Amino acid sequence: MSNEFHWTCPFCNRDTTITEERLHSTWTDLTISNADGPRRLTSRFIICPNPQCQKTTLSVSLHVLEKNQFDQPRTGKCLRQWHLIPASRALAFPDYVPQSIINDYNEACLIQDTSTKASATLSRRCLQGIIRDFWKVKPGRLIDEIEQIKDKIDPLTWEAIDSVRKVGNIGAHMEKDIDLIVDVDPNEAELLIGLIETLIRDWYIAREDRKTRLLKIKQVADQKDQAKKGTVRAP
């Protein structure tokens, strides 16, 4: 079974695929009878494959310890997650992404481990901020605003937003008033943050990259044009 997964390094921002050689993960099981039930604590080191970076990221997570059909212990639902190195998983985004969006995103990442509820609330506000700013939608409930951009965005992005919307309590989050705080589990908070990162990349960064590329083409064309005019004018 392949354990490869897509990952963005919080130090160098490079998008990579993490293979087994770059991942060190271990766990310890709590089996002493207790009021909360059996638990598994997993630790995960990831080493960035970018030769210029090679930084170590460390996170630990607490799970329900379950039994599989053969009575073997296995990792269950994630209860808590802690990003130890770096302390926040927040990626550094360029300055042209609106500051209010970056602020909400950074804050959502910072408190993701300590308060998933508050983190998800900030993520929702951030998501709404992105949709309003980028697509100039008519303000309403987040779910209605998402509906407004359905025909404007590429189908895959729409499906991603739609599938995140359907996970657990996130849907309730998007249907309710912005001030309402809804309970979410750590995986849901993580999913929302991942969605925000994707949208910032796919919309703001892609738009800026496109602009830069087109300007470059125009510049080169203009220079050629100037040079041509120059030769025409020359006797």
> Does 196 engage in binding with Zn ion (CB under 5 A)?
no
Q: How far is the CB of 52 from Zn ion (least distance, A)?
A: 8
User: Which are the contacts of 17, defined by CB distance < 8 A and separation ≥ 6?
Assistant: 4, 5, 6, 7
Contacts (Cβ under 8 Å, ≥6 apart) of 73: 29, 38, 40, 65, 66, 67
User: HSE-up of 104 (CA within 13 Å, CB side)?
Assistant: 20
Residue 10 beta carbon to Zn ion: minimum distance, rounded to whole angstroms: 8
| Residues of span 53-92 touching Zn ion by CB under 5 A | 53
**Residue 50 touches Zn ion, criterion: CB under 5 A:** yes
Least distance between Zn ion and beta carbon 12 (Å): 3
The residue range among 42-50, 83-91, 104-112, 179-187 that interacts with Zn ion, by the rule CB under 5 A, is 42-50
Q: How far apart are CA 157 and CA 173, in angstroms?
A: 19
Q: Using DSSP bridges, classify how beta strands 39-47 and 56-67 pair: parallel, antiparallel or unpaired.
A: antiparallel
Least separation in angstroms between residue 186's CB and Zn ion is: 24
Size of residue set near Zn ion by CB under 5 A: 6
- Contact predicate 42/75, CB 8 Å: yes
Which residue from 7, 11, 45, 82 is in contact with Zn ion, where contact means CB under 5 A? 11
CB of 94 to Zn ion, least distance (A): 17
Q: Give CA–CA dist 93/208, Å, rounded.
A: 12
| Nearest to Zn ion of 89, 173 (CB atom) | 89
Identify the residue whose tokens are 């460390």.
58
Q: Does 48 participate in binding Zn ion (rule CB under 5 A)? A: yes
| Residue 137 binds to Zn ion (criterion: CB under 5 A) | no
Residue 18 contacts Zn ion per CB under 5 A: no
Site of interaction with Zn ion (CB under 5 A): 9, 11-12, 48, 50, 53
